[in-house]
Amino acid sequence: MNEPTQWMKKEYEDLVSKGFDWQPPVIQGPSSARSMINGKETVMLCSNNYLNLSTHPKVKKAAIEAIESHGVGSGSVRPIAGNMDIHNQLEETIARFKHRESALYFQTGFAVNSGLIPQLAGKNDGIISDQLNHGSIIDGVRLSGVKKDNRVVYGHNDMGELEDCLRKITKNCEKTLVITDGVFSMDGDIAPLDEITKLAKQYGAMTYVDDCHGEGVLAGGRGIGAHFGIEKDVDMESGSFSKAFGVVGGLVAGSEHMVKYAFNKSRTMLLSGSAPPATVASCKAAIEVLESEPQHVERLWNNTEYFRKEIQAMGFDTGVSETPIIPVMCGESHKAKTLSKELLNDGIFALPIVFPMVAPDKARIRVMMSAGLEREDLDAALSSFEKGGKSAGVI
């Protein structure tokens, strides 16, 4: 008799044969600009730790002090076990940083989108979403009660198509929600949020932006709202502490009534244990470091501009990137994996991004810049990319 889970083995073997399986190496120690992998010091080019804050002394100290003062756990979910004072302090800090009335902290960025979006639109409403939005947004839309015909996708950053969708959906629905990433995580380009909010207002629609990769990066670290000067024009802004802030967790910022609604309605908030004190204190400290030490953002952009210019000069295609997310396009998954192995052998950690995260023919090495990288790190990486790119048949 066949085992009931045998199908999983077959599907996994199919992924392996197509080069779509994930095989990340083990990091021995902190994820920083230089990390230990297989006992070898390696240049880190695939971490979202943009500002190198995960090892910042002030952030680490905050975690240690929170354990001493508040313990290692939070007691359960916040609505039942109560809010710790440090949870409230973090949310006040987020709201100040975002120039918004209020904010709410979630356990992860994924939990924000998958838990809040389903509560923002129901069966008589509509959702309009960018074609390249993150998987957590896609899952949130699927979990909503919005009818299939009223869940529409517009071409990536295509404002003409967005307006066509708004014109159609707002006629048939009680409420309409427009959702976009701020910085798109696979290509590193930026949503035209100023145009999106203008169109949404024109048609009476709500706006929701996921700024996970914009926080700590754009506009001196303030994010995409500040980048376009429209911080208060976006109804819901979600984000993550696992990227530039160097910790973990999610956030949503906006009006006070929106945040109160989100706290009471989001199942990922209501039914998940709240973040431990050390994590919450680290998140607050990371924001404070970003506000008081602008050199981290400046260094991040200096590294980004240098690396992108040099790798393009070698003949690599970096797509439409405008940010520290620099995709080195390879096309076939096997080419991306071969290049990644060549890089790791040279002490450069840059993982391939393959299907299903990107289209089957859009495999790439997604290079993530960091403020912690020295010029010698970047030059070593560039040298390895040139050698590996030729060996893998990419250039």
Q: Which two tokens stand for residue 337?
A: 């994996």
Burial of 264 per CB tally in 10 Å (0-12, 13-18, 19+): exposed
User: 3-class SS at 306?
Assistant: helix
Measuring CA to CA, which residue among 162, 115, 119, 104 is closest to residue 139? 115
Q: Check if the beta carbon of residue 258 is closer than 8 Å to that of residue 247.
A: no
C-alpha–C-alpha distance, residues 150 and 179, integer Å: 14
Per the CB < 8 A criterion, the answer to whether 370 and 49 are in contact is yes
Give, rounded to a whole angstrom, the gap between the first and last alpha carbons of the chain.
51
Contact 246, 49 (CB under 8 A): yes
Q: How far is residue 64's CA from residue 277's CA, in Å, rounded to a whole number? A: 9
Q: How many residues does the chain have?
A: 395
CA atoms within 13 A on the CB side of 219: 19
Q: How far apart are CA 129 and CA 151, in angstroms?
A: 8
List the catalytic residues: 185, 213, 243
Residues near 67 by beta carbon (within 8 Å), at least 6 away in sequence: 277, 278
Element containing residue 151 per DSSP (H, E): strand 151-154
Q: Is the bond preceding residue 356 a cis peptide, omega within 30 degrees?
A: yes
